[in-house]
Amino acid sequence: MGLFLRQDQPWRASRRETALSGVALFVVLMAVWLLNSGHYTPLIIGFGVASSLLVVFLSWRMGIVDREGLPVHLLPRATVYAPWLFKEIFTANVDVAKRVLTPFEPNISPRLFDTGVTQKTDLGRVIYANSITLTPGTVSIGVKGSYITVHAIAEDVADGLQEGEMDRRVTWLEGERR
Amino acid sequence: MSGALVAEVLSWAFIVAGSVFVLIGGIGLIRLPDFYTRIHAAGITDTMGAWLILIGLMFSAGWTLITVKLFMLLFFLAATSPLASHALAKAAFLRGLEPMLGRGLEIEGDHD
Nearest to residue B40, comparing CAs of A83, A154, A170? A154
Residue B106 counted as domain residue: no
Residue B102 counted as domain residue: no
A52 or A4, higher pLDDT: A52
The boundaries of the domain holding residue B88 are 3-93
pLDDT at A60: 86
Please give, rounded to a whole number of angstroms, the shortest distance from the CA of A101 to a CA of chain B.
8
Of A35, A97, A131, the CB nearest to B44: A97
Q: Measure the CA–CA gap between B85 and A51, rounded to whole angstroms.
A: 31
What are the pLDDT digits (tens) for B50-100?
999 999 999 988 888 889 999 999 988 888 888 999 999 999 988 988 888
Q: Measure the CA–CA gap between B9 and A145, rounded to whole angstroms.
A: 49
Q: pTM for this one?
A: 0.84
pLDDT at B35 over 80: yes
B105 touching A (Cβ < 8 Å): yes
Q: Measure the CA–CA gap between B40 and B17, rounded to whole angstroms.
A: 19
C-beta atoms of A35 and B82 within 8 A: no
Residue B112 counted as domain residue: no
pLDDT band at A173 (very low <50, low <70, confident <90, very high): confident
Residue B46 counted as domain residue: yes
**Domain ranges, ordered by start, for chain A:** 1-70, 73-174
What are the pLDDT digits (tens) for A87-145?
999 999 999 998 888 888 788 888 888 888 888 888 888 889 999 999 888 999 988 88
Residue B110 counted as domain residue: no
B27 touching A (Cβ < 8 Å): yes
Q: What is the ipTM of this complex?
A: 0.81
pLDDT at A108: 84
